[in-house]
Amino acid sequence: MTTTTAASAGRVHPAAILAIILVSYFMIVLDNSIIFTGLPKIQEAMGLSATDLSWVQNAYTLVFGGLLLLAARAGDLLGRRRVFIAGLAVFALASFLVGAAPTGSWLVAARALQGIGAAVVAPSALSLLTANFPAGRERTRAVGYYGAVAGIGASLGLVVGGALADLLSWRAGFFINVPIGVAMMIATLKYVPESPRATGRFDLVGAVCSTLGMGALVFGIVNSTDAGWAPGTVASLGAAAALLTLLVVNEWRVKQPIMPLHLFASRERSGAYAARILFAGTMIAFFYFTTQFLQGVYHYNPLQAGVAFFPMTVVNFFVALFVPRLTHRFGNALLLAAGLALTLAGMGWLTRITADTPYLTGVALPMVLIGIGQGLAFGPLTAAGIAGVTANDAGAASGLVNTAHQLGSTLGARQDAGQGLHAVTPTRYPLPNPVLTNRNHWRKTCSPLMLTLPRPRPRTLSRPSSNAVTSARTTC
């Protein structure tokens, strides 16, 4: 394999590069959560059935999850800046098409196109961070901010989405991506240098197996929500198992795998992938259940429901500012364990909620704990997922981090939708919805998080000063 270096003349601007990465990733995460508060308005405006409405999100999820590994490796082979700009262009165009959608079918198709753009931008942003910030304190700081974006963007998206849906239109939440995407493309061309580009034979079999295998897996999970263990669900999951097994076998043999299996050799990275699946599943379930509870039981409008997440958003933001300093002092393991424990405590508190519970004690205070926990956990969790990887594998490792996050989000959303919580609105449920006020469902929401709690082990999650920690979503 040979390596070709693209020209990257001129002075490097770390602050500008970091800002471009964070804003672009923030746009992806924000968009992924804006949709939650906008769904009731979308259903009302377009007259969609519950099944049709579910595909507004499912189309995005299916394409996003299916293409992550391929898109991540494409950056290593074709140049990360080039692929990043292409992803921004697709995402901005798709956002415009979503906002302009005249029919439900147009909307679903545009959301699928958005998933393609997001699948390219999310891992490319993380790999650009790895390539432009050397290991040590500088990267630790960038990692902390990147991890903060994943948490803050998800919760702030509910506030922004609710405000736009209530005051303007649900379409506005997608139109705002267009100028942001264009600005980031221009800034990337000006400030971000192209990375070294690996040339050689492309892993075509791996690309096909990873895309179809992950797509079949996500479709099987999504389809099981409405169809259960129908033949289509079983066939999809069976195809996913066969294709992903073939992917593993193929990756052992090829010289330039799309998913290098040696990335799983580290217990730190493998543990981070598993923990991220569970953590993302818990958080997406929390966002879904809480949003529906606020609108369906407390009878909040979309704006009020979004503002109700402010305790979590504000706390998450301020905690995330201190994560780089705390990581340097205490190490990833202790910080991650504390963050997960606090998040679990907040989720446990939420299981006590009923239709008569006041907002302050039933929702706001648990959100404070969840905000602190999420702010502490996301940075170290992301850093562990790409710890110790080489520059050639930065894209593939970033893809695995995002794939784990997306798979967890899909599982979490499937759990929620399985309870029949499609587009709960105050007019549809004039009385408290028994599903939403059933504590068992809230306990199911936080139960996956219990499996993520690690025992702090310096050998596994090392301090950022060592070479083991290398880099830092999301939603959405």
For residues 222 and 358, membership in a common domain is answered with: no
User: Is residue 396 within 8 Å of residue 258, measured between CB atoms?
Assistant: yes
Residue 460 lies in a domain: no
For residues 177 and 217, membership in a common domain is answered with: no
Q: Give the pLDDT band of residue 188 (cuts 50, 70, 90).
A: very high
Predicted local distance difference test score (pLDDT) of residue 435: 42
User: Is residue 62 within 8 Å of residue 221, measured between CB atoms?
Assistant: no
Number of domains in the chain: 2
Q: For residue 128, is pLDDT > 80?
A: yes
For residues 148 and 229, membership in a common domain is answered with: no
> Quick one: average pLDDT of 152-165?
73
Q: For residue 272, is pLDDT > 90?
A: no
Angle between helix axes 14-46 and 137-167 (nearest 10 degrees) is: 30
For residues 232 and 311, membership in a common domain is answered with: no
For residues 319 and 330, membership in a common domain is answered with: yes
C-alpha to C-alpha distances, 110 to 89, 94, 328, 402, nearest whole angstrom: 14, 5, 43, 21
Q: For residue 256, is pLDDT > 90?
A: no
C-beta atoms surrounding 159 within 10 Å = 22
For residues 51 and 122, membership in a common domain is answered with: yes
- What is the C-alpha separation between 366 and 369, in angstroms, rounded? 5
Considering 36-40, 129-133, 146-150, the range whose residues carry the highest mean pLDDT is: 129-133
pLDDT tens for 189-236 read 988 887 766 665 667 787 788 778 877 887 787 777 666 777 878 888
C-alpha torsion angle, residues 90, 93, 95, 97 (rounded to 10) = -130
Q: Give the pLDDT band of residue 472 (cuts 50, 70, 90).
A: very low
Q: For residue 306, is pLDDT > 90?
A: no
- What is the C-alpha separation between 188 and 278, in angstroms, rounded? 33
C-beta atoms surrounding 89 within 10 Å = 17
CA 62, distance to chain mean position in Å, is 13
User: Is residue 64 within 8 Å of residue 115, measured between CB atoms?
Assistant: yes
Residue 96 lies in a domain: yes
User: Is residue 8 within 8 Å of residue 80, measured between CB atoms?
Assistant: no
Which stretch of 26-35, 121-130, 228-237, 454-463 has the lowest confidence by average pLDDT? 454-463
421: nearest Cα among 41, 49, 50, 44: 50
136/6: higher pLDDT: 136
473: nearest Cα among 424, 411, 412, 404: 404
Predicted local distance difference test score (pLDDT) of residue 114: 92
202/349: higher pLDDT: 349
Which stretch of 49-58, 180-189, 464-473 has the lowest confidence by average pLDDT? 464-473
User: Would you put residue 132 in left (φ > 0), alpha (ψ -120 to 50) or beta?
Assistant: alpha
For residues 68 and 169, membership in a common domain is answered with: yes
- What is the C-alpha separation between 131 and 54, in angstroms, rounded? 38
CA 255, distance to chain mean position in Å, is 30
Q: Give the pLDDT band of residue 13 (cuts 50, 70, 90).
A: confident
> Quick one: average pLDDT of 254-262?
80
- What is the C-alpha separation between 138 and 474, in angstroms, rounded? 22
Can you give the residue range of the structural domain that contains 332?
Answer: 13-200+256-450
Q: For residue 428, is pLDDT > 90?
A: no
pLDDT tens for 43-90 read 877 887 776 777 787 788 778 877 877 787 777 777 888 889 999 999
For residues 236 and 317, membership in a common domain is answered with: no
Q: Which two tokens stand for residue 167?
A: 């005051």
For residues 184 and 286, membership in a common domain is answered with: yes
Mean pLDDT of the residues in the chain: 76
- What is the C-alpha separation between 408 and 143, in angstroms, rounded? 21
Q: For residue 336, is pLDDT > 90?
A: no
Which stretch of 17-26, 170-179, 182-191, 378-387 has the lowest confidence by average pLDDT? 378-387
For residues 247 and 120, membership in a common domain is answered with: no
17/36: higher pLDDT: 17
| Biggest CA pair distance of the chain | 66
Residue 472 lies in a domain: no
H or E stretch covering 91: helix 80-99
Q: Give the pLDDT band of residue 146 (cuts 50, 70, 90).
A: confident
CA atoms within 13 A on the CB side of 199: 5
User: Is residue 287 within 8 Å of residue 306, measured between CB atoms?
Assistant: no
